[in-house]
Chains A and B, each alone.
Chain A
Amino acid sequence: MTSAPTPTAATVATTAVVKPSPRGRRRPPKGAPADRLTGARWWRTLSWRYLVGVVACIYAVIPILYIVSASLNPIGSVASTDLIPTVVSFANFEQLWNNPSRPFFRWALNTVVVALVVVVVQLIFSCFAAYAFSRFRFRGRRAGLLSLLLILMFPQILVTVALFQMFSIVGEVLPAFGLDTLPGYILIMLGGSLGQVYLIKGFFDTVPIELDEAAKIDGASHLQVFFRILLPLLQSILVISGLLVFVGVIGEFLLASIFLRSTDVKTIAVGMQGVLAADQSNNLGWFAAGSVVIAVPIILLFQYLQRYIVGGITAGAVKG
């Protein structure tokens, strides 16, 4: 994370990519007298900022605190759950393992498989298309970009009904890809494979074309230029958009609730929703424990990549 790269064309291009650079702003240089505030002046200018910040943090954290508290509450019911846990027990977490009618880890595995496939395919296909739009000049390019922009405005959930009809027929021909199968669900989610084209194309455009040309003079093919020159430069934005797509797929509910009905093929969103909806009051502990297991890794990832996420979403990456 902290290597200090020499400034080359490549790094110059990538620095242009992520806008805000909080590093350096975080700690103002020592000895700048204008920034040193003391006593009453400090109180007047900064105290309210801290106050607003703390109130906002409490607001942001209360529901999360509640989830954690509910997950540790051995009774696991709504009525017995407070914001601050009084008894700490891991019974709810044990329940995640040994309740075959709610195979939490099976659902989690399904979700991770779906999310990984969707993320990888979407990023690869988007990179390919962005490369074509950024580096080639061909007839229909502008029209293609425009229609892509337009089509992607229509979320897939608008065509759920038609997809349902379509996949009931697909299931007759290819049972492995029909309704109520994970491969079928993955295929549907791949309909959005070009979702990141705009973002990535923008980044390709910032990489000087001279770089490609130099490589081509050295004998690289267009495929090699893509894989060896351009793709490595994209890493930061690929990580961010990959993460946001990943979290988006984990949270996808509508399509999964229609297409995945059997216990074994459910994703975490549909499975957990089903459990909580079945007994809103008494299954809260189980649901909360599951939520903690899912949310903690994602929160940690977000914390770790915090600064890049700010840059990524400012550039237009979208969660889900």
Chain B
Amino acid sequence: MEDKKSLRAPVSQKPHVIPKPEHPEYLGGSITVEINEKKLTVPFGTTILEACRQAQIHIPTLCHHEDLCVAGVCRVCVVEVEGMRTLQASCAFPITAPIKIKTTSNAVRKARKHIIDLLISEHYGECYSCFRNNNCELQSLAKEYGVDHYNFGHVTQPRYEVDNSSYSVVRDMDKCVLCKRCVRTCIDLQEVGVLEAINRGHNTHIGTFLDKPLAEVICINCGQCINRCPTGALRANDPRDEIWNAIDDPTKHVVIQTAPSPRAAIGEEFGQGPGKSFTGELNTALRRIGFDKAFDTNFAADLTIIEEGTELILRLYKALVKKEKVALPQFTSCSPGWVKYLEHFYPEYIDNLSSAKSPQQMFGALIKTFYAQKTGIDPANIVSVALMPCSAKKFECNRPEMNSSGYKDVDYGLTTRELAQMIKEAGIFLPEMPQSHFDDPFGEASGAGLIFGATGGVMEAALRSVIEFVTGKRVEDVYANADITPVRGFEGIRYAEIPIAEVGSVPKLLQHLIPDWNWLKGATLKIAVAHGTANAKKVMEDIKAGGKFSECHFIEFMACPGGCLGGGGQPIPTNEQIRKKRAEAIYNEDKSLPVRKSHENRHVSELYEMFLTDGPCGHNSHKLLHTHYVKRGKYIA
């Protein structure tokens, strides 16, 4: 038996995964079990739950989640195993012998009903006043088991105070069913470890260190716990009311920028299967809701590539040619969850973070400066909303340094789920909207900006530009269709080397910074991609130990598994299969776009010609598009 996951999670919260045999057809590799008198052959070590799902036998679950390690605590999934005195949790029981299983016996049905009754008796509140109404696993279970009254009573008074101290995550422990998914998400999936069960027995509750408010602990705001909460105990800090108020206020000019991931997932909120983008429909819906302008964050993503790519080139130039001491590898800074993770866990490495702001914040700064000037609208009257797949973006836009325009650059971060709610409130059925384009002056964006939504996307976008900048060749001639596949996929950590055999001439945009590329001739660009902070931790530990990743030049980190498309603001549920579908939607859309490289975005070129006249990483762009970070550390007063 092997423990698959990290050492941080207690064994009771870890899976005891029996490695699947390489050759299930060999003797002993497979076991034939009997489920409800039906025979089924499964590989050795398959759990009863997995076997039942293979046999298309439905087993209700609550604490089980595909992304997480086994807990076996809710006991909803119990089944009868012949010869065993007690019922067994099917999610936690590995099949290692030819057992006979009954999934719907009298004892099983009764036990499940009892457990659901017990959970409901402690679950404060009513379904119609809960934002998870119709998307709640406890509610579904109650329906599945025909709960029509409170068999064991029902709590009438709240027991906990709602913790809304955090800009990102709101915790309402009265709705918690103690499935510990959030605990396992935090400690095992993300390896942050902010949440844990506190106290014992009936007094058990999920809390933070010393039960401090979430804003005062080392929460990185990734919101992955929200995506995995089966009930309404966890949610994002919802700015809908403020945004509606701004929309209703005639003196306010309300604009919204939309990130690439929400459009590839928002359809799920309207009953559409995952894997379909609703970009055009979303634009129309946003205007019908009353947003004055709908902008494309991908434009700012293209800008980020130019700024961050230039920063990388400058760092390399300083290190290799001028022999100055600079922090390398350079880390991406688009993911605010990752940024806060680094600030807490590896504060000594904040110099490695690219000083370029995330696309959201670049855009925010431009809207209240460039756009305001261009349209003659007083920036004080502009309300800037950012549609993001992310709960950490809510924290990011509230960081005190994010007001380079003289105002709060981005007023509200809005999640995919919250926008879907607004669209529904406006009486709009998104999938049936006619399609429309984004608004100018930022109307065009490249496919490079779009793929920011998937893990490896920022790296691929950067490479598409850097390769063309340096070699003078077209990316298409190096990678078929400009799909840089070595950095794609869902492997937790990916590493690639890109040899620079020949160099071209320095493009006009960079000529004032770099005289020529000769110093890069024959060099090998080493890059890596990591998604999910557990993987980030592995890379960081390797860097600390002086391993292979310490020799990288550029590393993309995303706090969330799968990158932004699996963000904490995305529709619930999110799992591996859904993340893959969303990634497909994003890459398919990228394929269909006429412009697929950030430096070919003509609006970006115009911006450098008209507004950021001293070029990438110049004085203007430093003022508006770059930022600094805080060494937070793990010990907070």
A binds B: no
* Interface residue ranges, A against B (CB under 8 Å): none
* Interface residue ranges, B against A (CB under 8 Å): none
